[in-house]
Structure 1
Amino acid sequence: MKNDIQEVLFSEEQLRAKVAEMGAQITKDYEGKNPLIVSVLKGSYVFMADLTRQIDTKCNIDFMVVSSYGNGTKTTGEVQIIKDIESQIEGRDLLIVEDILDSGVTLSYLMKILKARGANSIRLCTLLSKPERRKVDVHIDYLGFEIPDEFVVGYGLDYAECYRNLPYIGILKPSVYGGK
């Protein structure tokens, strides 16, 4: 598995430091508000677990599975909600936690749907952003790192449901997924 990695972009230590920094800011911004933190699965599960342990204020947690990729490496543009959140969101302050903001298609759609359901506020926290790939402008409230237009895996991110368990984020060798 490690032989499939072209380059490590962010080490375990870099990820730990960034997540602690983001958690401290979220704690400050949501003090006394009891936000609903919504993890977009599967890719964000590692980030979400680490991030919520760094948030020192009352909060609730829920999960969604949303996809616009199918089994490919590029978005189809068609968003599907595979698993919806179970919590009532009317009047709640939501924090959506995502692993990576790529085209923006999925998150833009998701944020519109949740706002229409009566959320008081919606903020976005994403570990990674690929601005070069953006098709839809999405405001990021909490950003870990901007990355180049490379296929990355590890720390929850996958290719064909593999590599999520790597403790760092690395660039996958194009020969593995048939890329450039």
Structure 2
Amino acid sequence: MDQQHVEGDLDLEQTLFTEDQILSRLREMAAEIERDYDGKDLLLVGVLKGAVMVMADLARSLDRHVEMDWMAISSYGSGTKSSGVVRILKDLDTDLAGRHVLVVEDIIDTGLTLSWLIANLRSRGPASVEIATLLRKPEALQMDVDVRYVGFDIPNAFVVGYGLDYAERYRNLRCIGTLSPHVYS
């Protein structure tokens, strides 16, 4: 879904990043990742569902072979706030022992769920575990999470598009925009 399909949509307040800006930043991140993992096998671990777009475009921006696997975890109830309780809904199919793992996220909000996930993955004996995220909300962080690759820092607003959703809507929007508070209040 292109931005033109939601122009005039009262649910979106503003566009933060266009598709071109996102793809350009992912190519820059891919170049950093290639330098840092030169000569090492790399396993990308995407966090479903939000990271699908980021993972696909980041992987396609890499000029090397990578393996990919997926996890689904949940800490959100029916609302927009984290419940603090993390559940694994879909675990990895890949053994992490001795592997270089790069967790690919769409957004880091409070950091609580991601902190739990990183501890869980490190307990599986990988050679390394790092994080790449397209978006990070520094004002919302409640847990210190060491993120190696950050696409963009954003304000503490509810954002949708490029994999990010509200009630399963807007995931396929090619840009990232802020959602009007009247939608989720």
1:1-180 aligned within 5 A: 2=6, 3=9, 4-178=11-185
Aligned partners of 1:130 and 1:65: how far apart in 2?
A: 21
* Runs of 4+ in structure 1 over 2 Å off: none
What is the deviation of 1:70?
A: 2.3
Unpaired stretches in structure 2, ≥5 consecutive residues: none
CA distance in 1, matches of 2:64, 2:130: 16
Q: What is the TM-score of this pair, normalised by structure 1?
A: 0.96
Q: Give distance in 2, aligned partners of 1:169 and 1:130.
A: 14
| Distance in 1 between residues matched to 2:158 and 2:43, nearest whole Å | 30
Alpha carbon RMSD of aligned pairs, Å?
A: 0.9
Deviations 1:45-91 (A, max 9, x none): 00100000011122110000011112221111111111001001001
Structure 1 residue 27 displacement after superposition: 1.2
Hey, what's the Cα distance between the residues in 1 that align with 2:139 and 2:82? 14
State the alpha-carbon separation in 1 of the partners of residues 45 and 51 from structure 2.
10
Unpaired segments of 5 or more residues in structure 1? none
TM score, norm. by length of structure 2:
0.94
Structure 1 residue 142, shift from structure 2 partner: 0.3
- Contact 1:130–1:146 (8 Å) recurs in 2: yes
Distance in 2 (CA, whole Å) between partners of 1:64 and 1:72 is: 21
- Between the aligned partners of 1:5 and 1:135, the Cα distance in structure 2 is 26
Letter in 2 for 1:39: G
